[in-house]
Amino acid sequence: MPTASGPSPAAPGVPAPPRATRVSRPGWRDPRLWIGVVLVAGSVVLGARLLDAADDTVAVWVLEADRGSGTPLSSADLRAQRVRFADDAVLERYFSADAPLPDGLALIRAVGAGELLARSAVGQVDAAQVVQVPLEVDPNRVPPDVVAGSVVDVWITDGAGAGAQVPPLTGERDEDTARGDSGRTPPTPGSPGSPGSPGSSGGPALSEVTVVAAPSYDDTFAVTGARQLVVAVEEERAAEFERLLGALQDPVIRILQRS
């Protein structure tokens, strides 16, 4: 008996099954493909720009510890630190760590620990031109925050002259002193034009000098009741400062802190 080819007809009352559909692979004309390509490319470009911005820093030299004026600089005093500058003009004010620091440089002002080493803070200064001057000061006449690296003014009054203020040093030597004439008699304190005279001009004996050492009270003259400070002073000013102290009967030192 002959049979009909093809699917058998569904039984009455039973729904026919759905026809199977073949999934087609998206082609290059599919807009979804191009949208994905654009998103991936945009992410790559954005990531590259973020990495470039994050690495837009320059290594410069900074001080490891507080250093005072006149301190010769060496590689042991410095460390490299990466910093981002607004423009190249600002960068030129500092020393790049990509190159070694030039020889023979010394600080001409105090620089604190972690501070960027500015070109304006150094110079070709002979270390022999700066000497360290120890000061014996009453602890009550020294600000408690004075430490190594602080910039201070040194004021002197003559305790034997009713607290008269000593005039500031001029930094100039007279002709007799330049010749080494030790027979010159210093002016008498209180006389006209002499250190500590009421008519003399006021001002610190040493202005804007850097503290290179500031031991604690217990580590210095606790027995005598005084505290020691050591300041860096140009050699010529230091010699004049010593002559000024020698001209006073009872020099009293007072420290004013600037920074």
121 and 163 assigned to the same domain? no
* Whether 178 and 231 share a structural domain: yes
Prediction pTM value? 0.51
Q: Give the range of the structural domain holding residue 62, as residue numbers without chain letter.
A: 58-125
Residue ending a domain, among 92, 125, 158, is 125
Residue 227 lies in a domain: yes
CA-CA-CA-CA torsion sign (201, 163, 169, 155) = negative
| CA dist list (Å): 142 to 145, 157, 228 | 8, 15, 10
Q: Tell which of 125, 148, 168 closes a domain.
A: 125
Among 68, 94, 125, the domain-final residue is 125
Q: Is there a single domain that holds both residue 87 and residue 181?
A: no
Could you tell me if residue 75 is inside a domain? yes
State the first-to-last Cα distance of the chain, in angstroms, to the nearest integer: 118
Judge contact between 249 and 160, C-beta under 8 A: yes
pLDDT per residue as tens, the chain (259 positions): 555 555 555 566 667 667 766 666 666 677 777 788 888 888 888 877 777 666 678 899 999 887 777 778 888 889 999 988 888 888 889 999 988 888 888 887 778 889 999 998 888 766 557 888 999 999 899 998 898 878 889 999 988 765 455 555 554 444 443 333 434 444 433 333 344 333 344 689 998 888 888 887 766 655 667 889 999 888 888 999 999 999 998 899 999 998 7
Residues 116 and 204 in one domain: no
